[in-house]
């Protein structure tokens, strides 16, 4: 009996000692789970919005909330009209001042350093449509946009229901931000690496970026996979960690995640590795100078940028009615049918030769010379847009794609025939070997379906596993309506807006335009740059609207 009582007493005495550990374990589990879920669904373009685009949105949308996370005196010195002020360290304590979890929010600060932290913190908490204004108020002021000094008083509402442990972790991360908000300058990091090296220097750029060179001693942990490396981080949560990316934005996202995970001594390199190199500091892992010079002779990104910049306003498209008129005046205008042989045999434009899209680079000797005008067509104008863009990249200076496809052309009066036309083989043009190899490899890997997705399938995908949507029409077209959630990047600006693309090249992307001529070209461009899962909306936005799927403005 005495033994039983002693055992019972021991259990009772031990119980209070065990209780405090249970919440701690639950908190760790909840926070880690939330960070893993967030890391798996990083926002398109890492949540950046330019000052120019924000001005347009503010003019068109009344339900956009601007949260200025600077200190009160900074805010009082001039801010965007309507912006509410919630200093960054108090953000998690004032969620009752913000709209609901699904509302549109843009976070602003002086340079975009604090706003990236604020944006990431809110996204971790579950806010679904939060972005950071690139360049901060410095960029806003430099562009000459108006500011006011009259404060906007935010009306307190009800804070959203958020897991208590997650909220506590985010509040601890924000309220304990050090002086300088966790930034470290390149020169100071160089001294630190020399005199008291951090426990870990972490590069969160993509593998392609890492391959261009990195800071000596860095460990590569791409942002899109950061939480998968949690087991490789120091066990000591007080460990000295320094993060960097290309320009500082992704570094701040990573630093915010690690602070939320409980690491208390995390710094982010201000300006990223670009600032490091601008300070004349060395990197490792880059190709030797002679190899770099040789590689510089060919860059698909450069070819794409030059080609898109030089395109006419039509983007090398021609309407069927205009082609009919042109053929009446110039009946010997070369026509290239890029459909399959079976499609061609069932009927084609009179005089057209057949060069299937997937064999395009094998038969350049059948095409007109690079400076001769000719027109490409297919069944719907999708394959012909792809072919036209690829030929443009290869140096063909006057090739166009007929909009609408074969049936539309036939309905417009263009003569048709079932008699095959045998093309006389000539001499293929001389093309840079690296450029030709890149285009040839691409053509031979074009999948069945040619990279299209129907409106019905896209509608399902947006519900079940949403891809990143990219609208490549002009701003004026986008103003008339777009698919909800789409990032607007005009095709003309595609190569100069790389910070707005999804940075993970495995991210599913759907590109669209109006009749989808431009959408097909943008798809090809992204695929050539290594994006692995890019499709384009068959029929473009008109096909989406024809199915009565929603189109939003603002």
Q: How far apart are CA 450 and CA 304, in angstroms?
A: 20
Q: How deeply is 156 buried, as exposed, middle or buried, from its count of CB atoms within 10 A (0-12, 13-18, 19+)?
A: exposed
| Structure tokens given for 513 | 């335009």
- Tell me the torsion sign for CA atoms 360, 362, 367, 369: positive
Active-site hit among 105, 245, 394, 403 = 245
DSSP 8-state symbol, 395: T
Q: How far apart are CA 235 and CA 375, in angstroms?
A: 64
Q: Tell which residue, 46, 38, 37, has the closest CA to residue 487.
A: 46
DSSP 322-373: HHHHHHHH-TT--EEE-S-HHHHHH-EETT-EE--GGGGGG-GGGSPPTTS-
Q: Tell which residue, 300, 440, 298, 311, has the closest CA to residue 364.
A: 440
| Structure tokens given for 46 | 């890492």
347 phi/psi in degrees, rounded to 5? 150, 135
| Structure tokens given for 540 | 């473009």
- Taking CA 446 as the corner, what is the angle to CA 444 and CA 448, rounded to the nearest 5 degrees? 125
- 486-to-51, 123, 356, 500 alpha-carbon distances in Å: 18, 18, 32, 11
471 phi/psi in degrees, rounded to 5? -100, 115
- 525-to-386, 453, 478, 513 alpha-carbon distances in Å: 10, 17, 21, 14
Residue 29: enclosing H or E segment and its boundaries? helix 21-39
Residue with tokens 């079940």: 464
Catalytic annotation on 245? yes
Q: How far apart are CA 428 and CA 437, in angstroms?
A: 14
Strand boundaries in 19-62, DSSP class E: 48-49
Strand boundaries in 414-553, DSSP class E: 416-417, 452-453, 468-471, 487-488, 509-512, 534-537
Q: How far apart are CA 218 and CA 285, in angstroms?
A: 11
Q: How far apart are CA 373 and CA 469, in angstroms?
A: 34
DSSP alpha helices (H): ranges in 394-531? 406-411, 433-444, 455-464, 475-479, 517-528
Give the residue numbers marked as catalytic: 245
């Amino acid at each position: 009996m005495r033994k039983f009582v002693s055992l019972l007493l021991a259990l009772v005495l031990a119980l209070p000692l065990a209780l405090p550990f249970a919440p701690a374990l639950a908190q760790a589990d909840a926070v880690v789970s939330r960070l893993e879920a967030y890391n798996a669904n990083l926002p398109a373009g890492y949540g950046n919005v330019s000052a120019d685009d924000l001005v347009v949105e503010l003019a068109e949308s009344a339900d956009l909330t601007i949260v200025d996370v600077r200190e009160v005196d900074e805010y009082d010195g001039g801010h965007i009209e309507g912006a509410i002020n919630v200093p960054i360290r108090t953000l998690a304590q004032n969620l009752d001042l913000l709209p609901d979890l699904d509302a549109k929010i843009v976070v602003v600060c002086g340079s975009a350093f604090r706003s990236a932290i604020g944006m990431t913190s809110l996204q971790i908490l579950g806010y679904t449509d939060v972005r950071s204004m690139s360049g901060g108020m410095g960029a806003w002021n430099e562009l000459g946009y108006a500011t006011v000094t009259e404060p906007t008083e935010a009306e307190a509402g009800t804070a959203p229901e958020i897991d208590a442990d997650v909220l506590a972790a985010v509040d601890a991360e924000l309220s304990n931000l050090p002086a300088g908000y966790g930034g470290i300058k390149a020169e100071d990091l160089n001294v630190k690496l020399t005199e008291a090296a951090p426990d870990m220097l972490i590069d969160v750029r993509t593998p392609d970026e890492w391959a261009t060179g990195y800071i000596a001693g860095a460990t590569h942990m791409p942002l899109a996979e950061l939480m998968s490396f949690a087991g490789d981080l120091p066990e000591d949560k007080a460990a000295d960690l320094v993060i960097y990316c290309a320009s500082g934005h992704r570094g701040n996202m990573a630093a915010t995640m690690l602070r939320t995970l409980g690491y208390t001594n995390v710094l982010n390199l201000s300006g990223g590795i670009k600032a490091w190199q601008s300070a004349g500091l060395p990197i490792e892992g880059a190709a030797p100078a002679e190899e770099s010079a040789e590689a510089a002779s060919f860059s698909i990104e450069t070819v794409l940028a030059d080609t898109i910049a030089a395109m006419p306003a039509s983007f090398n498209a021609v309407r069927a009615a205009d082609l009919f008129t042109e053929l009446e005046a110039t009946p010997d205008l070369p026509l290239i049918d890029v459909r399959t042989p079976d499609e061609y045999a069932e009927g084609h434009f009179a005089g057209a030769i057949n060069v299937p899209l997937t064999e395009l680079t094998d038969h350049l000797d059948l095409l007109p010379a690079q400076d001769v005008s000719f027109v490409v067509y297919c069944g719907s104008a999708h394959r012909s847009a792809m072919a036209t863009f690829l030929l443009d990249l290869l140096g063909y200076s006057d090739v166009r794609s007929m909009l609408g496809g074969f049936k539309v052309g036939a309905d417009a009066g263009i003569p048709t025939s079932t008699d095959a036309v045998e093309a006389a083989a000539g001499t293929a043009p001389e093309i840079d070997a690296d450029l030709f190899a890149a285009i040839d490899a691409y053509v031979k890997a074009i999948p069945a379906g040619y990279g299209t997705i129907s409106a019905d399938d896209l509608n399902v995908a947006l519900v079940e596993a949403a891809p990143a949507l990219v609208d490549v029409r002009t701003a004026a077209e986008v103003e008339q309506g777009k698919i909800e959630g789409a990032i607007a990047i005009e095709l003309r600006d595609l190569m100069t807006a790389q910070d707005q693309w999804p940075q993970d090249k495995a991210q599913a992307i759907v590109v669209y335009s109006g009749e989808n001529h431009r959408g097909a070209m943008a798809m090809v461009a992204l695929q050539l740059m290594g994006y692995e899962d890019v499709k384009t909306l068959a029929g473009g936005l008109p096909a989406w609207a024809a199915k009565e799927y929603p189109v939003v403005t603002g």
